[in-house]
Amino acid sequence: MIRQLNEIKDETLQKINKAENISQLEDIRVSVLGKKGNLTNILRSMNTLSAEERPVIGAAANTVKESIEMSIADKKEEILNSAMQAKLDKEYIDITLPGKKVEIGSLHPISKTAIELVEIFASIGFSVAEGPEIDFTKYNFDYLNTPVNHPARALTDTFYINEDVLLRTQTSPVQIRTMLSNKPPIKVISPGKVYRCDEIDATHSPLFNQMEGIIVDKDITMSDLKGTLEFFAKQLFGPQTKTKFRHHQFYFTEPGAEMDATCPKCKGLGCRVCGNTGWIEILGCGMLHPNIMEICGISHLEYSGYAFGMGIDRITMIKYGLEDLRLVYENDIRFIQQFIGR
Ligand SMILES: [Zn+2]
């Protein structure tokens, strides 16, 4: 029986030595030490032995068992270590290689312009008011003194959801909402997206960005309007910028005007951008129409105010010398990247 034990030991140690992975090792363990393992069988048959033989064989069997167990544990550790080493070798990181370049994004030119416009007006006390892009027809047209037969109301020019609800065609509804829910003094700007049924071309898009502003207070005059907007133009295009106001009729102002600024590209000398006139139209403005103030519950005898509005996209095109509006909406990364840091 001792011989049999030694055979089991030698044979098993050889197998353990050749094992290549943990599962092979486990199979070996079960075949020798498991419930039906050959060493277990020998230990079970011990009760057939004589009282003298039993302790001798028992001791020998335990020595064999221990040596197999130790040998399995050693081999297991060896296999795990070499697996870990193989993994480390495979996933070796060369810390001297240059790192992956992290691409730094940039604000879209329209966002840059919008932020700049807001900052200029915020610096002289305007706060930002926001409103829904889907709004009531009354806020977009009726309360703004727009005649019922005005072409802007036509189905061909405006995206209607139904008769009473539409995609706002201007940010003016925000001003109406502000006047309806606040008492003067009011001093807000309202940047945001607006929608019109325009075909896309070099200067039109069905979605574009506007920013309007409004002041309502006591004793507001046309000279306040001119002073504020002149300050704005100089902040935007530089201190040498000159402005001029031309009369223009809007249905929500009285009187109304358009403001031109000296072309920032040629500084007023005349170039392709300004059509050789030296001037570029920047915005529309005017004193608030008394009708609108009354509609919003503000007495035009007690208060006065002015409003102005400009296209953020248009200002962006002027500021960066762009000739085609489509460039800013195509989201071509090569175009957008040119504005990093500008
Ligand atoms: Zn010019």
What is the CA(269)–ligand 1 centre distance, in A?
6
- 3-state secondary structure at position 274: coil
Within a domain: 96? no
Q: Does residue 114 share a domain with residue 70?
A: no
Q: Does residue 118 share a domain with residue 67?
A: no
Instruction: Indicate whether 104 pLDDT > 80.
Output: no
Mean pLDDT, rounded, for 283-300: 94
Instruction: Give the CATH number, domain containing residue 179.
Output: 3.30.930.10
Sequence-separated (6 or more) residues with CB below 8 Å from residue 247? 255, 256, 257
Tokens of 187: 């001093």
Q: Does residue 83 share a domain with residue 117?
A: no
pLDDT digits over 64-93, tens only? 888 888 998 998 898 899 888 888 888 877
Its pTM stands at 0.69
What CA–CA distances, in Å, run from 53 to 9, 38, 46, 67, 164? 20, 19, 9, 21, 107
Look at residue 135 in the predicted model and tell me its pLDDT. 94
pLDDT digits over 2-60, tens only? 788 888 888 888 988 888 888 888 888 888 888 888 888 887 887 788 888 888 888 88
User: Distance (Å, rounded) from C-alpha 287 to C-alpha 55?
Assistant: 116
Look at residue 87 in the predicted model and tell me its pLDDT. 87
Q: Does residue 59 share a domain with residue 30?
A: yes
Within a domain: 100? no
Look at residue 2 in the predicted model and tell me its pLDDT. 79
Domain count for the chain = 2
Tokens of 13: 């140690």
Q: Does residue 75 share a domain with residue 128?
A: no
CB distance 205 to 313 below 8 Å: yes
Look at residue 50 in the predicted model and tell me its pLDDT. 82
Mean pLDDT, rounded, for 230-238: 95
Q: Does residue 321 share a domain with residue 264?
A: yes
Instruction: Indicate whether 185 pLDDT > 90.
Output: yes
What is the CA(282)–ligand 1 centre distance, in A?
13
Boundary residue ending a domain (28, 62, 90): 90
More confident residue, 187 or 157: 187
Q: Which pLDDT band, with edges at 50, 70 and 90, does 145 fall under?
A: confident
What is the CA(315)–ligand 1 centre distance, in A?
14
Boundary residue ending a domain (90, 118, 139): 90
Look at residue 332 in the predicted model and tell me its pLDDT. 84
Q: Does residue 83 share a domain with residue 122?
A: no
What is the CA(242)–ligand 1 centre distance, in A?
13
Q: Which of 212-221, 239-248, 265-274, 299-308 is the least confident region?
A: 265-274
Q: Does residue 140 share a domain with residue 50?
A: no
Q: Which of 43, 23, 24 is nearest to 33 (CA)?
A: 43
Within a domain: 274? yes
What CA–CA distances, in Å, run from 94 to 82, 87, 89, 221? 21, 15, 11, 71
Q: Does residue 285 share a domain with residue 158?
A: yes
- 3-state secondary structure at position 105: coil
Q: C-alpha angle with apex 140: 138 to 144, nearest 5 degrees?
A: 80
What is the CA(250)–ligand 1 centre distance, in A?
27
Segments forming the whole domain that contains residue 148: 109-339
Sequence-separated (6 or more) residues with CB below 8 Å from residue 329? 200, 205, 207
Within a domain: 101? no
What is the CA(240)–ligand 1 centre distance, in A?
14
Return the percentage of the chain with pLDDT > 90, whole number: 49
Instruction: Indicate whether 263 pLDDT > 70.
Output: yes
Q: Does residue 142 share a domain with residue 240?
A: yes
